[in-house]
Structure 1
Amino acid sequence: MTRALDGPAATALDALPCALLSFDASGRVCGHNARLLQLLGRSARHLKGCRLDTLLSAGSAMFLRTYVLPLLLGHGQADEISLDLLHADGSELPVLLSARREGLGADAVVHCAILPAPRRSDASQELQRARREAERARGHLERANADLDRFAASAAHDLSEPTRKVRAFGDRLLQSRRSQLHPDDLDYVRRMLAAAERMQAMIDGLQQLSRTGQDRGPGPRRPLAEVLREVLEESDRHITAAAAQVSVGELPEVEVDATAVAQVLQNLLSNALKYRREGVVPEIRIDGGWLEDADAPTWWLRLRDNGTGFAPEHAHRLFEPFLRLHDKHKYPGAGLGLATSQRLARGLGGNLEAEGAPNEGASFTLTLPA
Structure 2
Amino acid sequence: MPAELFDSAACALAVTGEDGTILKANARFGDWLGFSIAELCTRRFQDLLTMGGRIFHQTHLAPMLRMHGSVTEVKLDILHRDGHKVTVLLNGNKRQQADEMVYDLALFGTTDRDKYERELLNARNLAEALLQEKTSTELALQNAQAELKQAYAFSQRRAVFAEQMMAIVSHDLKNPLTAIRMASDFLSRNERTVKERQLLGHIGQSSERAQRMIADLLDFTQARVGHGIVIKAAPLDLHNVIHRAVDELRVAFPKATLVHCTEGAGETCLDADRVQQIIGNLVANSVAYGDLQQPITITSRLDNGAGAVSVHNHGAPIPQALLAGLFEPMTRGTDQGSDVRSVGLGLYIVRELAKVHGGDVTVSSCATAGTTFTVTFQNT
TM range (shorter): 0.3 to 0.5
Give me the TM-score of the superposition, normalised by structure 1: 0.42
Give me the TM-score of the superposition, normalised by structure 2: 0.41
